[in-house]
Structure formats: C-alpha cells, structure tokens
Structure 1
Amino acid sequence: MIEPDHTRQELGRFLRAMRERCPAEGGGRRRTPGLRREELALRAGISTTWLAWLEQGREANPSPHALARLAGALGLSNAERAYLFGAAGRIDPEAPQRLEDEEAPESVRLLVQFAPGPAYGLDRSWRATCWNASAERLFPGWLDANGERNLLRYMFLRPEARAMLPDWHERARRLIAEFRADHVGRHADPASERLVAGLRQESQDFAMIWDRQVVLGREGGVRGFDHPWDGHLAFRQFTWIPADRPDTKVVVLHPA
C-alpha cells in the first residue's frame, strides 16, 4: 500500500521538476535552473510558503482550483496536468466533460467490429456504446432494438437478464462491486450519480447490494447463459481498457 506521505513526496518532486524546467524570468545566469518559487507563486496567485510546503511533501491539502492555477503557470501538457491532479488525488475542474450519449471512440469500435465472438463497448457509466451482431443475439433485452442500453439497468430491471443467467445473484453482486471500483473516482460525474440514484429507487436488490460497499476489480472468467434460442452457452470473458480512452472498456466473449 502506498502511504499518503510517499504520495505527497512524489507530488512535491514533480512540482519542483516542472518549476525548474520553466525558463527563468528576465534571462541571465542563476545558481539554480528555472523559476524561483516566488516567481511561480506570483504567476499562479498562491502563497510562496504554501508552494514550498507542496514541494517538500508536507500536508498542504491543495484545492483543485489552486492546482489548476499551478498547471497553467507551469505550462503543463495534458498528460502532465493529469499526472498532477492524479498525484494530488483531486479532480481537474477544467477536464472536458463527456457527453452522456457520446459515441464509442474509434479504438473501441474497431476492436468490437473485428472480435471473433460477442463483443461490446462500455462508456464510463457502463452504457453500451457499440456492439457486434453476435452480442446483439446473445443479449436480448439489452442490445436489441428495444433494449436497455445500460448494463446495470439491464441486469437489475430487465426480466430477460434474470431468466438467462443461472447464477444471477452472484453475477449481480460482482457487477455492482466492479462498478463501485470504477465509480470511486467519479463522484462528480452527473451521469454515474444519476444512474446509481435511479437504480437505488427502482431496484431493492441493487440498493441492498450497493449498500454492502463491496469493491472488486473487473476480472475475466467463464460466464454461463441459458439462452432463450440457443440453449446453454458458456463463454470466457475478457476486458480491455483503451490507452486513449481509459474511461471506456471493451468486453469480448470467447466460447469456453
């Protein structure tokens, strides 16, 4: 387990490295490279003492807006800015908001399109954004024309899911635990918040399992189905997270 003081030290080292990388103001020779702390603090509109605490790994509790001013003053790239907020354990207030009905990115669509078996893409709220014909046939009530696009809503609100999954209770428990692991960093995401609030009202099973606070990583394994047309089926499940869109995932089922 990474201790909080270690994380603060990593944040401090990163900030100092970024400050020393910035061109010095006014030119000329200096004993140390880059900006002085006072110069960066002035640019970012923060206290020099507070900046020193951050760089020293002390408990400075930076706010998201203070970090945003620091990122701007340092001229951080998108990747550097994301690292800064991640190391500080804060959500970037200027991060682009994803649309609730956003289409699947190309990386997800191509993987789904060329998958040899049933495959689908999920957005950050576990709404299906794309799927192939095999997945549409496998999941009546979810991916067909009149389906419930969100995987959690399908699992808890559609009778087709309960009828088709012989181990529905175990699968439902695991699905919520996996979503909770995804959801932990998205408390400011309106779509995920509305999804959880709506399901708590509409499904007693969901509310009961959600309140148990179980967290699990998304893992593969064998998934069985009592399909209404194709009889008993078994698949091994694999999940990929695209590097260009880590808030999405691709799920592929291979015959077991």
Structure 2
Amino acid sequence: MAGDHNALGSYLRSRRTRLDPAVLGFAGGRRRTPGLRREEVAQRANISATWYTWLEQGRGGAPSAAVLDRIAKGLMLTEPERAHLFMLGLGRPPEVRYTPADGITPRLQRVLDAMPFSPAIIKTATWDVLGWNKAAAALLTDYGQLPREQRNILRLMFGTARKRVRREDWSSVARFVVGAFRADVARAGAADTDEVTRLVDELCLLSAEFAALWQNNDVVAHGEGVKCITHPEAGRLDLEFSSFAVEGRPDLGMIVYNPATPQVAQRVRELIEAKAD
C-alpha cells in the first residue's frame, strides 16, 4: 500500500477528510472527496498550500514542530492525535503543554477508593493533592480537613512541625522530595510557569532548608521506594510506595502506598477499620 511508505501523508489525508467544510466556513457544493481540500487545510494552518501538498505526498523533508502545531490546530486534532502527528512527522512526541489541573474525574476517584487499605493520592506537578482515599486520610493527612490552598505536600512538609516529628529521617526525605518536585515540574512543562515561580518563592521565604535544597539543583526519580512514618496511634509504619502516570495528563501523578510487612498490614487494617466505625 502507498500509505505504508508515507504514514504522515496517509494520516493527514485521513484527518482532513473527516472535517465538514460547511461547518468550518468553506463553500459547499459538489466535492469529489469528503472533507477539506488540501488548500483549505493550508489556509487554516497558515502555511503554503504547496508545502502542505508536499507533506501529504511525502516530499520536502521533515516539517518543523511549529508547522506541525499549526496543522494540528487546523485539523482540530485532539491531544493524542497531535502526539501521533508529531511521532509520524518528527519521530518524537511534542513538547508538553502545561495546563494547571483543577480536580480529578469521578472515575479516578473510584480508582483511589477501590484500594481501602492502601493509602493513595493524586497529585499535580506542583504537588497539590487533588484526590485521596480514606486510607490516605487515616495514615498520611486528612486533606479534606484542610483548606484547598494548603493541600500541598511541599507546604505541609516545609511549613508544618507535625510533619517533621513524624519523620525520623526528615532531612534526607526533604532532599529527595525537592529533587523529585524539580523533575516533576520539568516533565510537565511547568518549570518556568508563574505558578511554580510563586510556589518556589513562597517556600524559599518559608523555609531556609527548602531554599538551600532548591539551590542545589538536584533532580531525582521517584518511581518507587519506602516511606517510614510514625503514626500517633499505630506507631512506626513502613510503607512501600509506587508512582504512576495518569495517561494523557502529564500534570497528574498517582502514588500508592502498601504496607511493607504483614505485621504493618494488620496494624494499617485495624487503624482504618477503627476510623470507619
């Protein structure tokens, strides 16, 4: 098949043929094929009609990211479709476009609630906690009792004495958290946003320790590890954690904590069941 040799051209043709010319302001009448004409796509993308034709024909070399972005807008592509366009045209996904999250879907909340004895949270790239389950409220922090602006892991860690008391290895954990935060905001394309700048400035004023750690420019991965907490009722609890990406949402991540031993699991279960009564 000809499309096998020009996947980009085949994809572009398939996307433009699904669009309704009349809805987009182009004259109707008889058309030999459905959808937009090549010159109409070029007009919507603000590029040369000749250049767009060459792209569909597999001529003219690789397009730039800017051109692909304009074509994606002109063809009204969804984010997954835009990412696929970049993979075909440049062999890489597009740069992440950061959009601050306001909340999570009911479906994501049900995922959290399906783990009754494993604390789990959904956090943003700036480490605001948007979702949590009952186990997280019982063992980690009852985010529902906090004002929305205080549901931030970094604000809680560097501005709350209670957090330091519960963590024996607070200094090493703080170093890890700041390095992981730096990696998260960069991955989400948020490193230079006003939101992150304001948060970092606030934390630097709030905590000399945060300011020093931020100045170090350390970056760490935080896919998995062990979190040791001292709970006021259950005592020391060792929890293994794993981090997961939320598909299609580079600004969100899920962290799930599981008891590291059967003994800890039993204490966790008893604590959660007692709070549920």
The alignment's TM-score, normalised by the length of structure 1, stands at 0.71
Task: Name which of 53, 57, 62 aligns with 1:57.
Answer: 62
The alpha-carbon distance between structure 1 residues 213 and 17, as it changes in their structure 2 partners (threshold 3 A), is: farther
Counterpart secondary structure, 2:251: coil
Corresponding residue for residue 4 of structure 1: none
Corresponding residue for residue 5 of structure 1: none
The Cα shift of 1:216 comes to: 2.2
Identical amino acids, percent of aligned pairs: 29
Aligned mates of 1:82, 1:193 — CA distance in 2: 28
Aligned mates of 2:104, 2:42 — CA distance in 1: 41
Residue identity matched to 2:162? E
Task: Name which of 241, 244, 249 aligns with 1:240.
Answer: 244
How do 1:126-165 residues align onto structure 2 when only pairs under 5 Å count? 126-140=127-141, 143=143, 145-146=145-146, 148-165=150-167
Structure 1 residue runs of 5 or longer lacking an equivalent are: 1-12
1:80-112 CA-to-partner distances (Å, cap 9, x unmatched) read 1244468464455xx8x445xx23222331122
Corresponding residue for residue 176 of structure 2: 174
* Partners of 2:65 and 2:86 within 8 A in 1: no
Greater fraction of residues in helix: 2
Which deviates further from its counterpart, 190-199 or 106-115? Answer: 190-199
* Partners of 1:223 and 1:235 within 8 A in 2: yes
**Structure having the higher Rg:** 2
The alignment's TM-score, normalised by the length of structure 2, stands at 0.66
Aligned mates of 1:166, 1:212 — CA distance in 2: 23
The Cα shift of 1:226 comes to: 2.3
1:156-204 CA-to-partner distances (Å, cap 9, x unmatched) read 1111111111111221111122222211112464433322232123222
Aligned mates of 1:55, 1:187 — CA distance in 2: 35
Aligned mates of 1:241, 1:215 — CA distance in 2: 18
Task: Name which of 216, 220, 226 aligns with 1:216.
Answer: 220
How do 1:68-217 residues align onto structure 2 when only pairs under 5 Å count? 68-84=69-85, 87=92, 89-90=94-95, 97-99=99-101, 102-115=102-115, 116-140=117-141, 143=143, 145-146=145-146, 148-184=150-186, 185-187=189-191, 189-217=193-221
Residue identity matched to 2:176? R
The alpha-carbon distance between structure 1 residues 177 and 49, as it changes in their structure 2 partners (threshold 3 A), is: farther
Aligned mates of 1:43, 1:138 — CA distance in 2: 53
Aligned mates of 1:28, 1:127 — CA distance in 2: 53
Counterpart secondary structure, 1:104: coil
* Partners of 2:80 and 2:248 within 8 A in 1: no
1:35-91 CA-to-partner distances (Å, cap 9, x unmatched) read 66x665444222468766996237x462xxx54431133343442124446846445
Counterpart secondary structure, 2:216: coil
Aligned mates of 1:83, 1:217 — CA distance in 2: 26
Residue identity matched to 1:195? L
CA RMSD of superposed structures (Å) = 3.6
Aligned mates of 1:89, 1:78 — CA distance in 2: 10
Aligned mates of 1:205, 1:15 — CA distance in 2: 50
The number of aligned residues is 229
